[in-house]
Amino acid sequence: MRAKGPGPGCLPLFAAALGLLFAGPVAAEEGREGGRAPAFRDWIHELRAGVAAHDVGGLWSGYREERGADWSAELTLLRSGLALPLGAVHPNLGIAINDRGYTSKVYAGALWEIESRIGLFFASGVGAAVHDGNLDKRERHHKRLGSRVLFRIPIEIGYGFGAHHRLMLAFDHVSNAQLATPNPGLDTVGMRYGYRF
């Protein structure tokens, strides 16, 4: 049976996305206490948006069960980040909505990024995702993910051009790391555009 589009289970995910997008300006307004309010760009490192193939087979998760594309939006936080001898770490928050009503998710974590002087960059990290998909019910074309909260591992390779613009190839894996049964995992691969503040 084919999914018909995002259902009621996606409403909390949409609400969370709106919260992510509007929390910054509100926090800046509340920060006014006789001095300069924190600027939006002081705590937002990058805003990203893109589209990815959903539940890609033959990768970490092994096989494909669900269909469609995931439309995503993400914020990476702290303009300067946590500096390391190699690269920097930025907290991240995001949402990915499946356009055919399969598994959608919101997530948060940390992204470690290394960037070369010519604009090439590599990023990876770890975090947690909360999804609205199937847990353990046998249903055709729906993966049984075993747990409502999953571990998330992103891997990105891209190129920055100009002072603000970046394009990246992005891979995303979510699974419960064998802490629940079943644990097939779910992979996405796609392209993203990023705007750095």
> How many domains, the chain?
1
Q: What are phi and psi for residue 5, nearest 5 degrees?
A: 135, 170
Q: Is the pLDDT of residue 187 over 60?
A: yes
On whether residue 2 sits in a domain, the answer given is no
On whether residue 101 sits in a domain, the answer given is yes
Question: What is the residue-averaged pLDDT of the chain?
Answer: 85
Which CATH number belongs to the domain containing residue 67 in this structure? 2.40.160.20
Take residue 141 and report the two structure tokens written for it. 């074309």
* Contacting residues for 30 by C-beta, under 8 A, at least 6 apart: none
On whether residue 1 sits in a domain, the answer given is no
CA-to-CA distance for 42 and 44, rounded, in angstroms? Answer: 6
pLDDT digits (tens, 9 = 90+) for 117-159: 999 999 999 999 999 999 998 888 899 999 999 999 999 999 9
Domain with 122 in it: 8-196
pLDDT digits (tens, 9 = 90+) for 98-124: 999 999 999 999 999 999 999 999 999
CA-to-CA distance for 78 and 90, rounded, in angstroms? Answer: 6
From first CA to last CA, the distance across the chain in angstroms is 44
* 38-45 average pLDDT score: 74
pTM as predicted: 0.80
CA-to-CA distance for 67 and 86, rounded, in angstroms? Answer: 38
